[in-house]
Chains A and B, each alone.
Chain A
Amino acid sequence: DTAVSQTPKYLVTQMGNDKSIKCEQNLGHDTMYWYKQDSKKFLKIMFSYNNKELIINETVPNRFSPKSPDKAHLNLHINSLELGDSAVYFCASSYPGFGTDTQYFGPGTRLTVL
């Protein structure tokens, strides 16, 4: 069984388009995250939700909007895509809290903006 899944795996699109990435976890975790990994492999947190509530909102352009319909799902919608948005986006989940905060990552979505 896949623990954290993401769709699509690859996404190629033109500048200015709007796209969404979906994430689902079947681990029963309360918290889900979106990370961006750039071409230099630097992994940076963007957002996190705890039981559908936004907890972390890093300095990310307003064009990025996360949505969590329930605690097992966290989607990422990106408006007006730019070249600099090209990266691998990882979803992750965990139980937050000292001693239980191991994060499990999904397979990633490679976004290429042309």
Chain B
Amino acid sequence: QKEVEQNSGPLSVPEGAIASLNCTYSDRGSQSFFWYRQYSGKSPELIMFIYSNGDKEDGRFTAQLNKASQYVSLLIRDSQPSDSATYLCAVNGDGSSNTGKLIFGQGTTLQVKP
């Protein structure tokens, strides 16, 4: 059974701090990695995707991928109260077949305190 693991939290950080969210996955054949944000009562929305080892930056968000260690992380710099949400890590679950199957972690709840 392919799995994606996240610490459910809550992760609490003060406003302006860096929030670090981590995710591990079991399938070494996974090629695509995604971070979605989900506000309470809303649908998941894509924040970032990453395909290659290393860092990928987009504004205040940085995704980090280490395929050898099978983890992917999301850093949020200068955290704002509006960043308070559940962050879902998702990994493609079909290797190179490209069926679009995503396996989601259980999500990490982030609380940014003013």
Contact surface of A with B, Cβ cutoff 8 Å:
31, 33, 40-45, 48, 50, 55-56, 90, 94, 96-99, 101-108
Contact = CB atoms under 8 A, between A and B. Distances in A.
B62 interface: no
Contacts of B45: 105
Most chain A beta-carbon neighbours within 10 Å: one of B34, B101, B107: B101
B68 to A, nearest CB: 20
B106 A42 contact: yes
A96 B34 contact: no
Chain B contact surface mostly: loop
Given A33-B100, A45-B101, A45-B102, A105 B44 contact: yes
Interface string B32-46: 101000100011111
B100 A56 contact: yes
A104 B107 contact: no
Contacts of B98: 96-98, 101
Give the bracket for the number of chain B residues in contact with chain A.
Answer: 20 to 34
A41 B99 contact: no
A24 B96 CA distance: 27
A58 B92 CA distance: 14
Interface of B: 31-32, 34, 38, 42-46, 49, 51, 86, 88, 92-93, 96, 98-104, 106-107
21 contacts: A31-B100, A40-B106, A41-B38, A41-B86, A41-B106, A41-B107, A42-B104, A43-B44, A43-B88, A43-B104, A45-B101, A45-B102, A48-B99, A97-B98, A98-B51, A101-B100, A103-B46, A103-B100, A105-B45, A106-B43, A108-B43
A55 B99 contact: yes
Given A41-B107, A101-B92, A107 B43 contact: yes
A20 B88 CA distance: 27
Contacts of B44: 43, 90, 105
A94 to B, nearest CB: 6
Contacts of A40: 106
A42 B104 CA distance: 7
